[in-house]
Amino acid sequence: MNFLIRNVKLVDGTGAESVPRVNVAVQEGVISWIDQGPIQHFEYPHYEDINGEDLTLVPGLIDCHEHFAGDGGQFGVSIMADESDDMALIFSRAVSNARRALIAGQTSARDVGSPHGISIKLAKSIAAGAIEGPRITASGEWLQMSTTWGYSFVKTVDSKEAMEAAVKNQISGGAGLIKVGATGTKSDGTSYSTLGPDICRLVVDLAHNAGLKAAAHCTDGIEGTWDAVNAGFDSIEHAVHIDDRTAHLMKKNGTYIVPTLSTWDYRIRAANRWKSSRNERDSSEERKWTSIASTKRCIKAGIKIAAGTDAGGSPVRHGSIVHELELLVEVGLTPMEALQASTKTAAELIGNQNLVGTVEVGKQADLLLLDGDPLEDIASLRNIWAMFLGGRRIR
């Protein structure tokens, strides 16, 4: 558990440029010492001595939008919905997916919706050391009004009172954040704000009073997105319909965006092997381009971007965060900004920035040793030479 990484190039996640020939010591799972240059004298004997020559050290990655109960793939979401009463099956799948995320370099994650709130049990089991996975902050169930889409892994409510009871139920059940759906589409195809300003504010107040963040799923239309931002939601999930006016308000309120560009990208890349219909392809293309335009608007407005894939809640598979970062670079983030979207900024959105998100003394040793430099090529985040979670070697 005690080790020293010598002579490594450090990209610490704070936004500082990379520093060559750094030495990083880890004691009892915590980063205890960082220094530059040749080591004259190192006071601790019995440390594992790791040669970091020609490698780059970065913080462990964070995916801010996952659904561990779902596998992803073509039928992943519907399978999760169909089997939503088989708790053992859902839980074992969630355990497998947590492992997949972990070995891909993801040391923390946010789960934003699972059947029966099973992700809270997953997060607790990992924290207790019973199973292995990233540090998970879980919303439990995903709450929304009964007028919007009704997959069985979301909990639907039909009044302000019912929403209040449902949020309180999540809080008392151990939720680490509150997740609601704030947008919907009527049968005539028009989008609308499903909660309205009043219920949006109620949810935010209940969450914040309990010390939790509030996240709003917004894929259908500007009205609901506006209401969510205006009410003070901490994050908007999916950058689909963000106009300049909403972007301006997000900047003013300090709202985070979690674009989830992977979800539309995956559908388009898979369209041929799935033999998707013309309509499905057109719809994915339309969402892809509105989402890219919205994300670019967010970048231009200087909004805080946290990376998330929607793994399990879409065809995206768990452990895919690096591809999301590649897509963020394609739409305009620098590699440094993309890395921070999945480290420092992501930790700030989750609220565990005192523990993780950067390589600094006093932080948990959630570390990736890479063959390559992600500031030169973001894809090198896939080339994990060694990985540590709280100082424990994972790979």
User: CB under 5 A: which stretch of 31-39, 125-133, 270-278, 307-315 binds Zn ion?
Assistant: 307-315
Q: Is 308 in the site for Zn ion (CB under 5 A)?
A: no
Closer residue to Zn ion in complex, CB, 22/154: 154
User: CB under 5 A: which stretch of 50-58, 226-234, 306-314, 338-346 binds Zn ion?
Assistant: 306-314
Q: How far apart are CA 202 and CA 197, in angstroms?
A: 9
Residues β-bridged to residue 305: 257
Task: Count CB atoms within 10 A of the CB of residue 270.
Answer: 14
Residue 269 is inside which H or E element, if any?
Answer: helix 262-274
Q: How far apart are CA 243 and CA 256, in angstroms?
A: 15
Closer residue to Zn ion in complex, CB, 221/313: 313
* Nearest distance in Å: CB 217, Zn ion: 6
Q: Is 133 in the site for Zn ion (CB under 5 A)?
A: no
Q: Is 115 in the site for Zn ion (CB under 5 A)?
A: no
**Pick from 351, 358, 167: nearest CA to 256:** 351
User: CB under 5 A: which stretch of 243-251, 309-317, 339-347, 355-363 binds Zn ion?
Assistant: 309-317
* Nearest distance in Å: CB 79, Zn ion: 15
Task: Choose, by CB under 5 A, the member of 117, 181, 259, 313 that binds Zn ion.
Answer: 313
Residue nearest to Zn ion (CB): 313
Give the burial class of 95: count Cβ atoms within 10 A of its Cβ; 0-12 exposed, 13-18 middle, 19 or more buried.
Answer: middle
Instruction: Judge contact between 185 and 220, C-beta under 8 A.
Output: yes
Closer residue to Zn ion in complex, CB, 56/255: 255
Give the DSSP letter of residue 16: P
Q: Is 66 in the site for Zn ion (CB under 5 A)?
A: no
Q: How far apart are CA 237 and CA 218, in angstroms?
A: 6
User: CB under 5 A: which stretch of 133-141, 158-166, 310-318, 332-340 binds Zn ion?
Assistant: 310-318
* Nearest distance in Å: CB 195, Zn ion: 17
Phi then psi for residue 274, to 5 deg, are -85, -10
* Nearest distance in Å: CB 131, Zn ion: 22
What distances in angstroms separate CA 308 from CA 38, 119, 131, one per listed residue?
Answer: 38, 17, 23
User: CB under 5 A: which stretch of 21-29, 187-195, 264-272, 303-311 binds Zn ion?
Assistant: 303-311
What's the sign of the alpha-carbon dihedral 384, 101, 394, 346? Answer: positive
**Pick from 90, 153, 110, 93: nearest CA to 321:** 110
Task: Choose, by CB under 5 A, the member of 223, 234, 310, 324 that binds Zn ion.
Answer: 310
Closer residue to Zn ion in complex, CB, 12/310: 310
DSSP string, 119-145: HHHHHHHHHTTSS---EEEE--SEEEE
* Nearest distance in Å: CB 313, Zn ion: 3
* Nearest distance in Å: CB 374, Zn ion: 26
Please give the residue ranges that form the binding site for Zn ion (CB under 5 A).
Answer: 310, 313
